A and B are shown apart, each in its own frame.
Chain A
Amino acid sequence: MDLLDVSLVNWSRAQFTLTAMYHWIFVPLTLGLGIVQAIMETIYYRTGDEEWKKATKFWMTLFGVNFAIGVATGIILEFQFGTNWSNYSWFVGDIFGAPLAIEGILAFFMEATFISIMFFGWNKVSKKFHLVSTWLTILGATISAFWILVANAWMQHPVGMEFNPDTVRNEMVDFWAIISPFAINKFFHTVWSSWIVGALFVLGVSSWFLIKKRDVGFAKKSIKVAAAFGLVASLLTAVTGDGSAYNVSQEQPMKLAAMEGLYKGQNGAELVVFGILNSEKKAYNDNVDPYVFKIGIPKALSLLGYRDINAFVPGINDIIDGGYQTKNGVALSFAEKKEKGTIARQALSDYKKAKTANDTIAAAEHNAKIKANFDNFGYAYLDSPEKSIPNIALTFYSFHFMVMLGMFFILIFGVFTFISFNSKYDPEKYNWLLWVALLSIPLGYVASQLGWIVAEVGRQPWAIQGLLPVNAAVSAISTQSVQITFFLFLTLFSALLVAEIGIMLKQIKNGPNHE
């Protein structure tokens, strides 16, 4: 048997990163803009005001262009679990496959059916049926997000399953456990933050119309909807962001430590508001100060992570050395986890041999060992403690920039809501503010991508938290094959992105009155 090349794992990760990040350029706008256009059509339905219909159709055209490329970049993600992560697909496919199938049955067909009526049915179905179709299209997209986020949350917090040594995989034993609080919070945080992207897009584009002093009535209407919608979304995102951080601290302490650059744990730990990491720090245990500079809020990390201002928050060193108290007892060190993981893996090997030899007594003994140690099965594949630490700088800076941007979004939506709903003020008169809104469009995308970097880089090396690291999840193909498809995807997706941006700009330039 050939040995797997380390570069294969890295290239497979790179390809998944590339395709997921490209896909995620388009999904948040779909989720956010879909709601904005549905709100506008609802107003049109209730008021009969043709201006609202015109506004709805304008944003719908942009939605359509964005949706198409979202579909194009999405198909590869589902199949990539098989093509590039085949071991993963078997090891947890019994649980992970179900949300993907449900997504297809319940969400994709809803989207595909009603989007057709939404685009082509203006003169073919009643106003009411059309409005329902517009809402069902975005409902379908949101249900799709729900199931894929349930699947993702399960990878980060695997529950509701048992390992079966006969089939060598994890098997579902509790369907409802999979839709865990972790998953629910992740869903709302992701979807509501996507609404921000949609709202910022509408706000920024509408501001451009005001800067250019054209289609003023349409732009002001759109700003009203976007500002109020964006304010609600950004406040809800902040609340669920807190929920996400709480879940991470409970289930993924290493990720939390990476997000905060926390090496040495403490009671009453401070929350770093702003910090610069020390590039001289080369190893987790070299005693070099991890920060060059930082501003923090005392005890806030303990409060947010454990709902107790004096709670102990473990740092990277603590997690590797173990010995601190957790809700499940005393934390194990990396060495202890590796030992347990190795015992479980060896027991699995022995179990298979005992089964082949029809030695049921020995098989039962080995099975008991597997069960006792399975929680740390994945550690058997990690060579050293360093392999269990994610990229600190990337996780830390991504997290902090994301939070800063989140605060900025609350501010900008708050200001625009105040101005656009208060008759004393006229957004047209605040040119600088309109420019801020316009230039903020990319920031929504950046924040959304940063959120995924925190979630996915922060959980490395795990494909399934604690059970399967990425180096044991990959398919046995050549590195060159993955390199070729990586560059094919890069070229194709970049070319399509350029086309999408070109079309979007042209459509915006044409404006809502272009027939």
Chain B
Amino acid sequence: MFTYSFLQHYWWFIISLLGGLLAFLLFVQGGQSMIFSLSKDEDERRLLVNILGRKWEYTFTTLVTFGGAFFASFPLFYSTSFGGAYWVWMAILFCFIIQAVSYEFQSKPGNMYGKTTYRVFLFINGFLGTILIGAAIATFFTGSEFTVNKANITEQLNPVISQWANEWHGLEALLCVRNWLLGLAVFFLSRTLASLFFVNRLNNENLEKRSRKAVLVNAIPFLVFFLSFVIWTLLSEGFAVKPETGEVYMEKYKYFFNLIEMPVVLILFLVGVVGVLWGIIGTLLKESFKKGIWFAGTGTVLTVTSLLLLAGYNNTSYYPSTADLQSSLTIFNSSSSEFTLNAMTIVSVMIPFVLAYIFHAWRSMEKKRTDIADINSDDHAY
């Protein structure tokens, strides 16, 4: 039906898009990291928790689907990164495990550990979860230490194909400044988006005022960290692939060239950045402007999607190995078979339907802005 190469590119686009959507939906995590700092009393805290609590499952589900889609389309990444960078992924998973119960449990009598404990869980998820996910994604540009040797499977006593080349199993990524830059950028972006979300959803003058201020406070470090990461990455060496042989080599300004050589991705990136800035600046300049989240959210999806496309398209290794360059993963050497990608492509036709019912459901539940009276009158409120 489609060429193998087209399918590999298509599925990298789906993964990138899911990554973009996840980055946007991390506003829930950003909001969780602000539950204590933005509110002045219990009513305000409860209001924040509840409007985030109507959305947390979308972020969680997108993360799980991101993982499932990665497994189905690029299984060698799944086996290499998850099995190798064990501690980073485990830390991320623990952050999300504690989130999943915290909304439902926190206000229920008999929850054993008290409301504050569950809110601290939400804070941890918002703080660590975002930084770790950002740092993990940064390794797509900075590299990791692993080897892949498929012939290992014929060994009796150690048949493991993908092996990590150090004992830190992913924690070494925290020694790389560039990984931190993206980690912190994602953290402050999530808080910026959360502030914009609060401005859009809350019917509470005080909280709205503080949220507008929080947009500025978080947008500045976000822009500093994000631009530092992007500029550093565009100016540094990248992991290029020779299309004829699949050989991986270092190329100066690789990601910058990718941007220039893929004008559609460049436009996506620029439109995304403008969208984010529009959402932020519009909210800061005009008090009646409450739709910043939609501009910044759409901008985030476009920007992150295009960044991930930069990592995987145009003969680039999206998961490079600094321990053995030729073990680096590309969309060609790590993908599922043509048959499986074809089958999955047919399933992906369902995605617009899924997005349509999510949109419909979201609209039917969000007809007006929420205040504390709405929460108090809801017998399932958190």
A401 within 8 Å of B (CB atoms)? no
CA distance A114 to B163 in the complex (A): 41
A348 & B153 in contact (Cβ 8 Å cutoff): yes
- Known: A83-B83, A84-B83, A89-B75. Contact between A68 and B101, CB under 8 A? yes
Q: Are A120 and B380 also in contact (CB < 8 A) when A81-B78, A104-B65, A381-B159 are?
A: yes
B79 cross-chain contacts in A, Cβ below 8 A: 82, 86-90, 93, 475
A310 in contact (CB, < 8 A): no
Q: A64-B104, A171-B340 are in contact. Are A97 and B72 (CB under 8 A)?
A: yes
Secondary structure of the B side of the interface? helix
Residue among A97, A381, A488, A502 facing the most chain B CB atoms (10 A cut-off)? A97
Stretch among B38-46, B232-240, B293-301, B350-358 lining the A interface = B350-358
How long is the Cα–Cα vector from A101 to B67 in the complex, in angstroms? 8
- What 0/1 pattern do residues 268 to 283 of A give for CB contact below 8 A with B? 0000000000000000
Q: Which of A69, A76, A94, A172 contacts B101 (CB 8 A)?
A: A69
Are A104 and B339 in contact (CB-based, < 8 A)? no
Option from B76, B154, B157 in Cβ contact (under 8 Å) with A3:
B157
- B130 in the interface (beta carbon within 8 A): no
Chain B residues lying within 8 Å of A439, measured Cβ to Cβ, are: none
Q: Chain B contacts of A57 at CB under 8 A? A: 379
CB distance B150 to A86 under 8 Å?
no
Give bound CA distance, A82 to B79, whole Å.
5
Residue of B nearest to A347 (CB): B154
Of B88-96, B196-204, B282-290, the one with at least 4 CB within 8 A of chain A: B88-96
Distance (whole angstroms) from the CB of B31 to the closest CB of chain A:
16
Which residues of chain A are near B105, meaning CB under 8 Å?
Answer: 65, 68, 499-500, 503
A175–B343 CB distance below 8 A: yes
* A168, B58: Cβ atoms closer than 8 Å: no
Chain B residue at smallest Cβ distance from A482: B86
Compute how far the CA of A481 lies from the CA of B163 in the bound complex, rounded to whole angstroms.
15
Find the residue from B94, B96, B111, B340 having the highest chain A CB count within 10 A: B340
- Closest chain B residue, CB of each to CB of A114: B361
The answer to the question of B3 belonging to the interface, with a C-beta cut-off of 8 Å to chain A, is no
By a CB distance below 8 angstroms, the chain B residues around A345 are 153-154
Contact B90 A83 (CB under 8 A): yes
In the complex, A102→B379 CA distance in Å?
Answer: 34
In the complex, chain B residues whose CB is within 8 Å of the CB of A129: 364
The interface stretch among A105-113, A239-247, A444-452 is A105-113
Say whether A373 faces chain B, with CB atoms less than 8 Å apart: no
With the chains together, A495 CA to B97 CA distance in Å?
12
Give the number of residue pairs across the A-B interface with Cβ within 8 Å. Answer: 297
B87 → A minimal CB distance (Å): 7
User: How far does the alpha carbon of A505 sit from the alpha carbon of B67 in the complex, in Å?
Assistant: 35
Partner of B83, one of A89, A117, A125: A89
Interface residue A173 (Cβ < 8 Å from any Cβ of B): yes
Residue A267 is within 8 A (CB to CB) of chain B in the complex: no
The minimal Cβ–Cβ distance linking B365 to chain A, given in whole angstroms, is 6
Chain A residues with CB under 8 Å of B380's CB are 61, 64, 119-120
Chain A residues whose CB sits within 8 angstroms of the CB of B337 once the complex forms: 94, 164, 167, 171-172
Q: Does B110 contact A (CB under 8 A)?
A: yes
**B339's contact among A81, A172, A505, by CB below 8 Å, is which?**
A172
- Which residues of A have CB within 8 Å of B162? 86-87, 90, 476
Q: How far is the CA of A88 from the CA of B78 in the complex (A)?
A: 10
Q: Interface digits, A56-72 against B, CB 8 Å rule (1 contact, 0 not)?
A: 01000100110111011
With most chain B CB atoms within 10 A of its CB, the pick from A105, A115, A129 is A105
Whether B160 contacts A474 by the Cβ 8 Å rule is yes
Closest residue of chain B to A352 (Cβ to Cβ) is: B151
Which of chain A's residues have a CB closer than 8 A to the CB of B154? 345-346, 348-349, 352
Q: Which residues of A contact B164 (CB under 8 A)?
A: 476-477
B201 to chain A, nearest CB (A): 14
**Measured between alpha carbons, how far is A502 from B101 in the docked complex, in Å?**
13
Given contacts A68-B105, A113-B358, contact A478 B160 (CB under 8 A): no
Chain A: minimal CB distance from B203 (Å): 15
Residues of B within 8 A of A116 (CB): 54, 57, 361, 365
Chain A interface main SS type: helix
Which residues of chain A from 330 to 380 have a CB within 8 Å of any chain B CB? 345-346, 348-349, 352, 380
What residues on B are CB-neighbors of A505 within 8 Å?
A: 110
Give every chain B residue within 8 A of A20 (Cβ-Cβ).
none
With an 8 A cutoff between CB atoms, is B113 at the interface?
yes
A2 within 8 A of B: yes
Nearest CB of B to A75, in Å: 6
Query: Considering only CB atoms and an 8 Å cut-off, how many residues of chain B contact the other chain?
Result: 82
Report the Cα distance A109→B162, complex, angstroms. Answer: 32
Candidate in A172, A348, A474 with the most chain B CB atoms within 10 angstroms? A172
Question: A87-B79, A112-B60 are contacts. A100–B98 as well, Cβ < 8 Å?
Answer: no
Nearest B residue to A89, CB-CB: B79
Residues of B within 8 A of A112 (CB): 57-58, 60-61
When the two chains form the complex, which single residue of A68, A98, A352, A476 contacts B104, counting CB atoms closer than 8 Å?
A68
- Are the CB atoms of B340 and A98 closer together than 8 Å? yes
A492, CB-defined interface residue at 8 Å:
yes
B72–A492 CB distance below 8 A: no
A340 to B364, CA, bound (A): 61
Cross-interface CB contact of A507 among B82, B101, B110, cutoff 8 Å = B110
Residues of A contacting B78 with CB < 8 Å? 81-82, 86, 89-90, 93, 97
Given known pairs A108-B64, A472-B159, A507-B110, the reply for A83 and B86 (CB within 8 Å) is: yes
Beta-carbon nearest neighbor of A95 in chain B: B340
Once bound together, how far apart are the Cα atoms of A342 and B371, in whole Å? 69
On whether A100 and B68 interact (CB within 8 A), knowing A86-B162, A476-B158, A502-B111, the answer reads yes
For A105, give its contact among B63, B71, B98, B348 (CB under 8 Å). Answer: B348
15 A-B pairs besides A86-B160, A89-B71, A475-B83 with CB distance below 8 A are A1-B155, A1-B163, A64-B380, A87-B162, A98-B340, A100-B67, A101-B65, A101-B68, A101-B71, A117-B365, A119-B380, A168-B153, A476-B160, A477-B86, A515-B379
A interface residues, Cβ below 8 angstroms from B: 1-4, 57, 61, 64-65, 67-69, 71-73, 75-76, 78-79, 81-91, 93-98, 100-106, 108-117, 119-125, 129, 133, 164, 167-169, 171-173, 175, 345-346, 348-349, 352, 380-381, 472, 474-478, 481, 485, 488, 492, 495-496, 498-500, 502-507, 510, 515
User: Can you name 18 A-B residue pairings with CB atoms under 8 Å?
Assistant: A2-B158, A3-B158, A68-B104, A83-B82, A87-B159, A93-B76, A98-B347, A100-B71, A105-B347, A105-B354, A108-B64, A113-B361, A120-B54, A124-B364, A169-B75, A348-B154, A352-B151, A503-B108
Q: Top 4 A-B pairs ranked by shortest CB distance?
A: A86-B83, A82-B82, A93-B75, A506-B110
Contact surface of B with A, Cβ cutoff 8 Å: 54, 57-58, 60-61, 63-65, 67-69, 71-73, 75-76, 78-84, 86-87, 89-90, 93-94, 96-101, 103-105, 108-113, 150-164, 167, 169, 336-337, 339-340, 343-344, 347-348, 350-351, 354, 357-358, 361, 364-365, 367, 377-380
